[in-house]
Chains A and B, each alone.
Chain A
Amino acid sequence: MTDLRNDLPDDGPAIELAMGTLVTLDDDLAEVDVLAQQSVAARSSTQTVMRRFRQHRAAMSGFVVLVAIILLAFSSIGFGPVPGWWKLDFKIPMPLVDAGAPTLSVWPPSLGEHPFGQDNIGRDYFALTMKGAQQSLIIAFLVGIVGTVIGTVIGACAGYFRGWTEAVLMRLTDVMITIPLLAVAAVIAVSSKGLGGVWILGAFLGLVTWTGLARIVRGEFLSLREKEFVDAARSVGASSGRIIFRHILPNTIGVIIVAATLAISSAILLESALSFLGFGVQSPDTSLGQLINSYRSAMTTRPWLFWWPGLFIIAIALAVNFIGDGLRDAFDPRQDRVKA
């Protein structure tokens, strides 16, 4: 037990059980393992991961949906100087058609004048939703990337160097779990209000969402740094940098990619919740959450103003979650392992 504890990715005893599985490999399964290896032709690990991911139906559908949404959001109304194929501008009010009801029809398939309807002052809601989706996606990916980079660096340092780096991180984690993420994000978002723009908001939110990933990466580093292949590198005099970047990090890449994916899906929910509370994206800028917030009171009269952005949030988050699940299975064939 004592030597096992050194591998624990956390001071808390939580992970002990999960580690138990990593260590045990009982005879039966070892034998099966050998058999499985014989039957599978040699492939590189990246190819194996790709193949497993492609076989994961839910993940592939998630992937297709996400790509479709991204293409739709950015191509329809254009992005920056690039014009899109959708004719209407999201800023310009137009006369209300049929009280602004959606004209989208599934059968016979037609878009109509305003497929998603119009808002109370007659702006085209399809264009608005697309704009909101763009902004939400930008924030989500930004938060995911910033959080992942910070989390990886801090987690890697804490896990590899131990000592005070680790102590500081662990105490920081202890402190962070006492603060609801939504609340601290709200405070941060309010602080960044004056600085303007979704880019700043996304970067700032990334500053508070790294803790989970740092914990996971630290856990991976703690267990990997005790592995014999790391000892082997150390015994031939490899530098710390080489050990971290050449030996340990490549072995944690799966975990990091999965965590980053899930960070993106929680970021999109975080952004929309903040905007809904009025702390996130501010009018006249827009995002999916901000749209729902603006038209909350129109729920009974114009329900589509509520439904469209909500459905887009769910579709994006669900797609990203399925991709994350598929990636986890692809990177770690021992499925359903307890997430630490």
Chain B
Amino acid sequence: MFVFVVRRAVVSFFIVLASTALMYVLVALSGNPLKDLLEYNGPGREARIAARTAALNLDVPIPGRYVLWLQEVGTCVAPGGDECTLGLDRKLRPVLPQLDVALGSTMRLVIAATVLALLLGVVTGVVTALRQYSTFDYSVTFIAFLCFSLPVFWVSTLLKQYIAIDLNTWLQDPQMTYASIGLLGLVAGLIWTIVIGGDARRRLVVAAVAAAATSGTLIVLLNVGWFRRPALGIAGIAVSALVLAFLWSALFAGLRPRTRPVLYASLATAVAGTIVVALAQPLMAEMTWLTFGALVLVLIALGLGIGYLVGGHTRRLAMQISAVTAVSVVVLMSVDQLMRAYPALFKATGGRPMATTGSQTANLNGTFWESNLDLGLHLALPTLAIMLISFASYTRYTRASMLDVMNQDYVRTARAKGLNERTVVVRHTFRNALIPLATLVAFDFAGVLGGAVVTETVFGWSGMGKLFTSGLSNIDPNPVMAFFLVTAVATVLFNMLADIAYAYLDPRIRLR
């Protein structure tokens, strides 16, 4: 493993070297940074040309310039590199501080989009594969093709116009007519019918139940003013946690007598976790990342402990699933707290909480939850826009991979052993279907970064994309190269992680 990482680091170094060299030449050839000054006729023309030439080493031929740039990058890697600037831009400002700001917001965007797309895509892909040629399968296939065909910038603009702006307007006065409540109910009913499927009778029942539940919930929420002061509440956390605990046990352990302890352990974790969260309420107002981390660790330890005690001879599984349940409790707690922070944020943003520009509200100075909610709301739409294509490709790929594995001999063997369908799918099919996906993630990452360039432009983020587009249109090589340096390093890093995941999933592959 260690040898592998070192080997890969060396190889990656050369890849980054080659990739930056290639891009350096291309960027250098894309225009003369002195162009505007050469056309400029005002005073101090010569001095400014000389200053920029010196700053950007324009008197050196391109290969030499690249070496100088490399030296500059080298000082950042070398210990005690205070001089590190990653070069100067055309206004003679160092690039590094600009990059610092940009990097954080873009990585947030890219990683959120990748993770969400992966999770949703894989789940959808699995379900479509299991229900091949169902209405759900066809709908998802069509949606995936639509996503493949959507221009990111166009979707971003649409989202901004119709989701953000109109939603904000609605949130000012969250009211709905009974007609629209009924309509939403019908839509929900239709969606659930397609997702769940089954024979005609079951479809009707599902549609009716889903429509009634959706409309009913909406009426209740509207009447108690939930959209103004949303929250889950301890009761909400408890119920959701129990449902999730049941779901995880059913999915990963099954509900046979032999694995009953797993179910008990995870249910107990859900209850105990909710109690811990309730007791920790006083902490919430003063939450920092440190206390949050501590709380997470406490809850996971609680889950592991309960799993250990209750697990019996399925101890390991019980501990794993209880820990997953504990994490679910953390997520629920966070959702609850973020919702509670909403009224304050609503006020701070002047009643327009859905952000349309920038990566965070300036001068917010809110609490832990308020600023995180703010970040989250800023992320939501750009993430959605970038996600679509990745989501589509993960869905299609997972589906194809699952169908492929389902035809393998060893899946037939698993059936021949009399294993139940859940075990066949989760343990024998899904695990193998995940393997080729690891590589796709690595390949997709650069694509997502490209998408980020577009969405950042639409949503007015000052991230890496902005650095790149403004650098490129102003013929300003160093910020552009900073962009390429970061993307190259991030991609090789992601690639290495993907390979490690690959080796973890597939015992036939040894990391050497």
Cβ-based interface call for B399 (8 A): yes
Instruction: Give the distance in Å from the alpha carbon of A336 to the alpha carbon of B399 in the complex.
Output: 8
A178 and B409 contact, CB distance less than 8 A = no
Whether A175 and B450, one on each chain, are in contact in the complex, defined by CB atoms closer than 8 angstroms, is no
Known: A21-B408, A179-B446, A265-B148. A184 touches B26 (CB 8 A): yes
Contacting pair B443 A272 (CB below 8 A): no
Task: Report the bound CA distance from A130 to B480 in whole Å.
Answer: 35
CB-CB under 8 A from B454, the residues of chain A are 182, 273, 276-277
CA distance A21 to B450 in the complex (A): 33
Q: Is the CB of A178 within 8 A of B487?
A: yes
- The 8 listed contacts between A and B (C-beta, < 8 Å) are A178-B446, A180-B446, A182-B451, A183-B484, A191-B26, A279-B469, A317-B150, A338-B436
Residue in chain A with minimal CB distance to B442: A177
Using CB atoms, name the residue of chain B closest to A300: B161
Cβ B149 vs Cβ A13 within 8 A: no
- Taking the complex as formed, is A254 at the interface, i.e. its CB lies under 8 A from any CB of chain B? no
Contacts of B253 in A (CB 8 A): none
Residue from B146, B401, B506 within 8 A of A318 (CB atoms): B146
Chain B residues positioned under 8 Å from A84 (CB to CB):
none
B18 touches A175 (CB 8 A): yes
B window 426-481: CB within 8 A of A? 432, 435-436, 438-440, 442-443, 446-447, 449-451, 453-454, 457, 468-469, 472-473, 480
Answer yes or no: A70 CB below 8 A from chain B CBs. no
A306 to B157, CA, bound (A): 9
Report the nearest A residue to B448, measured CB to CB. A180
Taking a contact as CB atoms under 8 Å apart, the answer to whether B439 and A310 are in contact is: no
Q: Hey, which chain B residues are within 8 Å of A299, CB to CB?
A: 157, 161
A-B CB proximity, top 6 nearest:
A182-B450, A180-B450, A317-B149, A14-B439, A318-B149, A178-B488
Query: In chain B, residues 19-58, which have Cβ atoms closer than 8 Å to a Cβ of chain A?
Result: 19, 22-23, 26-27, 29-31
* Count class of interface residues, chain B: 35 or more
A187 touches B26 (CB 8 A): yes
**A 24-77 contacts with B by CB, 8 A:** 24, 26
CB-CB under 8 A from A21, the residues of chain B are: 404, 407-408
- Is A167 interfacial (CB 8 A cutoff)? no
**Is the beta-carbon distance between A13 and B509 smaller than 8 angstroms?**
yes
- Docked Cα-Cα span, A275 to B309, in Å, equals 62
DSSP majority for the A interface? helix
A20 and B408 contact, Cβ closer than 8 Å, known pairs A273-B151, A336-B399: yes
Contacts of B495 in A (CB 8 A): 177
A325 within 8 A of B: yes
Q: Known interface pairs A171-B18, A187-B30, A338-B397. Does A180 touch B149 (Cβ–Cβ under 8 Å)?
A: no
Interface size on A, residues (CB 8 A): 55
| Nearest Cβ on chain A to B396's Cβ, whole angstroms | 8
Q: Is A322 an interface residue (CB 8 A)?
A: yes
B154 touches A338 (CB 8 A): no
User: Are A313 and B453 in contact, with the CB atoms below 8 A?
Assistant: no
- Is A178's CB under 8 angstroms from B16's CB? yes
Within 8 A of B (CB), among A253-284: 265, 269, 272-273, 276-279
Task: For B145, list chain A residues within 8 Å (CB).
Answer: 318, 321-322, 325
Q: Please determine whether A178 and B19 come into contact, CB atoms closer than 8 angstroms.
A: yes
In the bound complex, residues from chain A placing their C-beta under 8 Å from that of B150 are: 314, 317
Could you tell me if B157 and A296 are in contact, using CB atoms closer than 8 angstroms? yes
Residues of chain A within 8 A (CB-CB) of B442 are 177
Contact B151 A265 (CB under 8 A): no
Q: Does B400 touch A at the CB level, under 8 Å?
A: yes
Which residues of the other chain, B, contact A306 by a CB distance below 8 angstroms?
154, 157
- Indicate if the CB atoms of B436 and A15 lie closer than 8 Å: yes
Render B500-512 as a binary contact track against A, CB cut-off 8 A, 1 for contact: 0010001011000
B308 an interface residue at 8 Å Cβ cutoff? no
Q: Does A273 contact B472, Cβ atoms closer than 8 Å? A: no
Residues on the A chain within 8 Å of B92, using CB: none
From B30, B152, B436, give the contact of A273 (CB < 8 A). Answer: B152
Which residues of B are interface residues toward A (Cβ below 8 A)?
A: 15-16, 18-19, 22-23, 26-27, 29-31, 145-146, 148-154, 157, 161, 396-397, 399-401, 403-405, 407-409, 412, 432, 435-436, 438-440, 442-443, 446-447, 449-451, 453-454, 457, 468-469, 472-473, 480, 483-484, 487-488, 491-492, 495, 499, 502, 506, 508-509
If the complex has contacts A265-B149, A310-B151, are A278 and B473 also in contact, measured as CB distance less than 8 A?
Answer: yes
Q: A175-B15, A175-B18, A336-B404 are in contact. List 6 more A-B contacts (CB 8 A).
A: A179-B488, A182-B450, A182-B451, A187-B472, A299-B161, A318-B148
Cβ-closest chain A residue relative to B399:
A336
User: With the chains together, A49 CA to B151 CA distance in Å?
Assistant: 31
- Residue numbers in B under 8 Å from A13 (CB-CB): 439, 502, 506, 509
Shortest beta-carbon distance from B352 to chain A in Å: 15
Q: Which residue, of A175, A180, A186, A292, has the highest number of chain B Cβ atoms within 10 A?
A: A180
Partner of B409, one of A24, A269, A321: A24
What CA separation (Å) do A339 and B404 show in the bound complex?
11
- A181 & B409 in contact (Cβ 8 Å cutoff): no
| A12 interface contact, C-beta 8 A | yes
Residues of B within 8 A of A339 (CB): 396-397, 400
CB-CB under 8 A from B23, the residues of chain A are 179, 184, 187
A191, B29: Cβ atoms closer than 8 Å:
yes
Q: How far is the CB of B410 from chain A (nearest CB, A)?
A: 10
User: Which residues of A (181-208) have their CB < 8 Å from a CB of B?
Assistant: 181-184, 186-188, 190-191
Q: Judge whether A232 is part of the interface by a CB distance below 8 angstroms.
A: no
- Min CB–CB distance A52 → chain B (angstroms): 17
Residue of B432, B449, B483 ringed by the most chain A CB atoms within 10 A: B449
Q: Return the chain A residue nearest B393 by Cβ.
A: A339
**Nearest A residue to B403 by beta-carbon distance?**
A336
Contacts of B409 in A (CB 8 A): 24, 26
Residues of the A chain whose Cβ atoms lie less than 8 Å from the Cβ of B499:
12
Instruction: Answer yes or no: A151 CB below 8 A from chain B CBs.
Output: no
What CA separation (Å) do A278 and B474 show in the bound complex?
A: 12
Q: In the complex, which residues of chain A have a beta carbon less than 8 angstroms from the beta carbon of B438?
A: 14
B-chain residues with CB within 8 Å of residue A325 when the two chains form the complex: 145
Which residue on chain B has the smallest CB distance to residue A278? Answer: B473
What residues on B are CB-neighbors of A289 within 8 Å?
A: 151, 153
Establish whether residues B408 and A24, one from each chain, have CB atoms under 8 Å apart when the complex forms: yes
- Chain B residues whose C-beta falls within 8 Å of the C-beta of A188 in the assembled complex: 26, 30
Query: Please, which residue of chain A has its CB at the minimum distance from the CB of B485?
Result: A178
Closest-CB distance, B435 to chain A (whole angstroms): 6
> Is A113 among interface residues, defined by CB-CB distance under 8 A?
no
The distance in angstroms between the C-alpha atoms of A22 and B280, with both chains bound, is 56
> Once bound together, how far apart are the Cα atoms of A17 and B429, in whole Å?
12
A314 to B143, alpha carbons, bound, how many Å? Answer: 12
Q: Judge whether A111 is part of the interface by a CB distance below 8 angstroms.
A: no
A82 close to B (CB within 8 Å): no
Q: Are A17 and B432 in contact (CB under 8 A)?
A: yes
Q: Are B151 and A12 in contact (CB under 8 A)?
A: no
Cα distance A277–B16 when bound, in Å?
26
Residues of B within 8 A of A180 (CB): 446-447, 449-450, 453, 487
